[in-house]
Amino acid sequence: MRGLLGSGQTDSCKAIANAERDRLLAFLDNTANGVARISEAFPGVTDTSSNFGVLALEKGAFCATFKVRSLDDGRADMLADKLISFAASYALRAWKDGAYPGWTPNPSSNLLALCQQVYTAQFGQPASLQVIHAGLECGLLAASHPQLDMISFGPDIRGAHAPGERVEIESVARCWLLLKAVLQALSQVRDTP
């Protein structure tokens, strides 16, 4: 969560004045929402975006949460700053809160090359590679260990973070087999003089 907007305008906990309602609706209608930039390094992949999260009226204050994501933290910050400035133009307070670091995959990664070899040997076909626009744990790890060579892989998940979220059980088994095989390959590479 990069932006949280608030405007306390009435004493009522359940309603706001018509003029304030109109101002808030105009803000929401005109605020950037969706893809802000497509990746130059990974064609067709969203690089930076924002989206509305939770909208709420709490104790007479209107709050709107925006999620800003990017492969690059600098671009996420720039977009969050634009949202804050835009909110100010509607006389709304805005601030950054709860940032989730971005992560740009390295297509030249030695670990990626090894994992591709292991995947092909394990399953008899090349791995499908995909860069996604989502918050990944790799961003958290890269924030404290920027030189760490890493990849992300996981099972086939449908409807992530929604009530109907589900996982393909067979893909969990494939991930487990791949992880064991990659760790075995890494131990052999490390033991090689």
pLDDT in tens, the chain (193 residues): 233 334 444 444 566 788 888 988 899 899 989 999 999 989 999 999 998 878 887 776 778 888 899 999 999 999 999 999 998 898 888 888 877 888 888 999 999 999 999 999 999 999 988 888 887 889 889 889 999 999 999 999 999 888 999 999 999 999 999 999 999 999 997 666 5
Characterise 136 by phi-psi region: left (phi > 0), alpha (psi -120 to 50), beta (else).
beta
Question: Cα–Cα distance between 30 and 104 in angstroms, integer?
Answer: 30
Give the start-end residues of each E strand in 59-160.
Answer: 61-70, 93-95, 157-158
Question: Cα–Cα distance between 119 and 116 in angstroms, integer?
Answer: 5
HSE (side-chain half, CA atoms, 13 Å) at 55 = 6
CATH T-level topology, domain 3-95: Alpha-Beta Plaits (3.30.70)
Residue found by looking up tokens 């131990």 in the block: 187
CB 31 within 8 A of CB 86: yes
State both tokens at 154.
């996981």
pLDDT at position 155, please? 94
Question: Cα–Cα distance between 32 and 27 in angstroms, integer?
Answer: 10
pLDDT at position 4, please? 34
Nearest to 67 by CA among 32, 43, 41, 42: 32
Nearest to 150 by CA among 138, 160, 161, 158: 138
Q: Where are the domains of the chain?
A: 3-95, 110-191
